[in-house]
Amino acid sequence: MSAESFLPVSAEDMRGRGWFWYDVLLVTGDAYVDHPSFGAAVIGRVLEDAGYRVAILAQPDWHSADAFTSMGRPRLAAMVTAGNLDSMVAHYTAAKRPRGEDFYSPGKRIGLRPDRASVVYANRVREAFPGLPLVLGGLEASLRRFAHYDYWDDRVRNSVLIDAGADLLVYGMGESATLEIAAALRHGTPVEALRSIRGTAYVTTNPPDGAVTIASCESVRRDKREYAASAMIQYQEHDPIVGRAVAQPHADRVVVVNPPAMPLTTYLLDKFAELPYTREYHPIYEPDGGVPAIEEVRFSVIHNRGCFGACNFCALAFHQGRVVTSRSHDSVVREVTAFTAHPLFKGYVHDVGGATANFRRPACAAQLKRGMCKDRACLSPTPCTNLDADHGDYLALLRKVRSIPRVKKVFIRSGVRFDFLMLDPSGEFFAELVKHHVSGQLKVAPEHCIDSVLARMGKPANAAYERFTQKWNSLNERYGKNQYLVPYLMSSHPGCTSDDASALANYLRKRGMRPEQVQDFYPTPGTLSTCMFYTGLDPRTLEPLYVPRAPREKARQRALLQPQKRKRGVTRG
């Protein structure tokens, strides 16, 4: 595929288009992959569709400002993202050991982005273009928008807005806020005046009327109870329906986080998903063998956004939010039909999923009127009685995709919420999942078997998983299938003692399970579980809880769950 099909990545590309100026420089810590699963590509295409000239600066050399000036000064703004992952997660394991591969870089090469990429890139942009409006976005910025515990430094860091010196931060998925910012700048509005855009944060000296003021950065550094209480307020106000602006003092300045952007309508989700993505990595990466991250998503479709599952260790609730919206059937069918013509397509749609595959709409009708419940989760510890668990719409979508010419099989790989599936009144979806949508193995995430640990995780009691596995086995026997469950498990989550880990190991041994998928709890910014890890308190109740922190204990808990790896000497994470 020719470079002309992509957004420009060099001054030569711009000259080839007859450009002698451009509007927005989009800096990203990932290699440039023009696919709707990559945030930088989405924002670039959304801006392009709105009439802006956008240039992509992917994984620039950050040791000087030279790479940042290579395409000249943009007219409107520089927008910076660390990439699809937090840069520290991309670089280090849960044991804080350097990773050996980076799937978002050409040839899986390590070292093509800096640690704390949002801050480093922002500082280079300031050097390159003094006075240019600077906007942060992406997952790293989104989850670090408040003062936050940083696992790698083992301390509370400032809001990334303070450290980066940016004018604005866009959190969440970002399309609406980015378009509003760009339009205001194009019409000559000073960036300092952009203070009311939903889904953004900024630094000021005077918070707006009506904002909820939480404990200062300095207070949450000193007092873990203040940290936990503030984290819970941040989580509760992350609601597009009833959420308020949240203000957090940082010395003599205040970080103000505006209410979240409203969820995109189906029309806009369809529109943004069907922009002219090439669905490929840029040809400049061919000499390195391409960008491996494309392989899992090239023939996959994202049909929804948001997750009301709200697991405490997951960042989705604090990033995409808990209100689920979805694309139309026609849009998904058009996307799949288009990529069946790809020369590499072999007839297999790898996923029709999203944050959680089997969510297609809000958990209940009341959410769109009064927001998400502040005093309980939709599915844990038990399902809410108002939950609408009808899977009929998702099932109809999958049937349509299966019927597309040249499609042999449609898999679901992005995660099925099994407790929600079990609430489906008809049971048809579960039957067709077993018959048509499993590639021999189905990945599910029970995470643990001890109910007290599951409660800290925000997961249902283990009885829900037991009922699911019984039904799974029954359906596989009925349809003559030899398919297996691959359970994801987590060790060392806050609240999990050594006795709990031993009990889980016994549970697995009695059932003949030898799990390969075990993740040591990773305290990433912005989650309630990370708050528990740092403070030793459950932010929902402020009750103290046990936290396994010592490396030896964490390694032991993980090793208990994978004795086969311990024997081979490969349990270190």
Which distant-in-sequence residues (6+ apart) come within 8 Å of 427 by Cβ? none
Which distant-in-sequence residues (6+ apart) come within 8 Å of 499 by Cβ? none
The last residue of one of the domains, among 237, 257, 277, is 257
CA triplet 81, 83, 87: central angle to 5 degrees?
100
Parallel, antiparallel, or unpaired for β 304-305 and 325-326? Answer: antiparallel
Which residue is it, tokens 């019409």?
187
CATH number reported for the structural domain that contains residue 547 in this entry: 3.80.30.20
Same domain as 480, residue 373:
yes
Q: What domain range includes position 297?
A: 288-568
234 falls within a domain: no
212 falls within a domain: no
Same domain as 163, residue 26:
yes
- How many Cβ atoms sit within 10 Å of the Cβ of residue 229? 18
318 falls within a domain: yes
Helix (H, G, I), strand (E, B) or coil at 71: coil
229 falls within a domain: no
CB 325 within 8 A of CB 261: no
User: 543 vs 495, 511, 532, 546, CA distance in Å?
Assistant: 11, 34, 10, 10
pLDDT of residue 317: 87
Which residue is it, tokens 């204990």?
553
Domain count for the chain: 2
Same domain as 303, residue 197:
no
Listed residue (182, 86, 176, 97) closest to 138, CA to CA: 86
Same domain as 349, residue 445:
yes
Separation of alpha carbons 206 and 247, rounded Å: 9
User: 344 vs 100, 279, 287, CA distance in Å?
Assistant: 28, 12, 19
In order along its 573 residues, the chain shows pLDDT tens digits of 788 899 999 999 999 999 999 999 999 999 999 999 999 999 999 999 999 999 999 999 999 999 999 999 999 999 999 999 999 999 999 999 999 999 999 999 999 999 999 999 999 999 999 999 999 999 999 999 999 999 999 999 999 999 999 999 999 999 999 999 999 999 999 999 999 999 999 999 999 999 999 999 999 999 999 999 999 999 999 999 999 999 999 999 999 999 999 999 999 999 999 999 999 999 999 999 999 999 989 999 999 999 999 899 999 889 999 999 999 999 999 999 999 999 999 999 999 998 899 999 999 988 888 999 888 889 998 999 999 999 999 999 999 999 999 999 999 987 899 999 999 999 999 999 999 999 899 989 999 999 999 999 999 999 999 999 999 999 999 999 999 998 999 999 999 999 999 999 999 999 888 887 789 999 999 999 999 999 999 999 999 999 999 999 999 999 998 876 655 444 444
CB 67 within 8 A of CB 28: no
The last residue of one of the domains, among 218, 237, 257, is 257
Same domain as 359, residue 463:
yes
Same domain as 414, residue 315:
yes
263 falls within a domain: no
83 falls within a domain: yes
Separation of alpha carbons 200 and 259, rounded Å: 8
Same domain as 173, residue 29:
yes
Same domain as 316, residue 199:
no
Same domain as 547, residue 445:
yes
29 falls within a domain: yes
CATH number reported for the structural domain that contains residue 66 in this entry: 3.40.50.280
Same domain as 190, residue 328:
no
Same domain as 313, residue 179:
no
Look up residue 98 and give its DSSP letter.
Answer: B
221 falls within a domain: no
Separation of alpha carbons 375 and 76, rounded Å: 43
CB 199 within 8 A of CB 262: no
